[in-house]
Amino acid sequence: MSVIPDSHADILDSKGFAHLASIGPDGEPQSHPVWFDTADGRIRISTTKARQKYRNLQNEPRVSLSILDPENPYRYLEVRGRVAAVEDDPDDAFINSLAKKYMDQDEYPLSQPGDERVIFVIEPVHATTMG
């Protein structure tokens, strides 16, 4: 990820939670703690179509993610970007990979019948760091 400084790229490999900031239906900012992963220089998150963040990102693709270093809370990476793609996750492969990363479980234990999962692929355009 050319936007991400080498000094803080390790945070993207951590089990740190990202706080995703999106814009709500009335223009107010909303923050959502999310699991994340990276691929091909992009950040990926999972959600269901029933959640507010899904609707927010459908209406306004610009986002910000703040990720604390789990080893040092005074060190962080903020990434601003835009949703570059929305991909279906019908077999829960992506959310299950996140469950493995964050919980060391093969399957996401909180899935509900009828959940329609999607993957938001975020293209970083700017990064800010501290620590």
Counting every residue written for the chain, the total comes to 131
pTM listed for this prediction = 0.94
The CATH-assigned architecture of domain 6-130 is Roll (2.30)
Structure confidence at residue 55 (pLDDT): 97
Q: What is the pLDDT of residues 15-72, one digit of tens each?
A: 999 999 999 999 999 999 999 999 999 999 999 999 999 999 999 999 999 999 999 9
Residue whose pair of structure tokens reads 């220089």 in the numeric block: 41
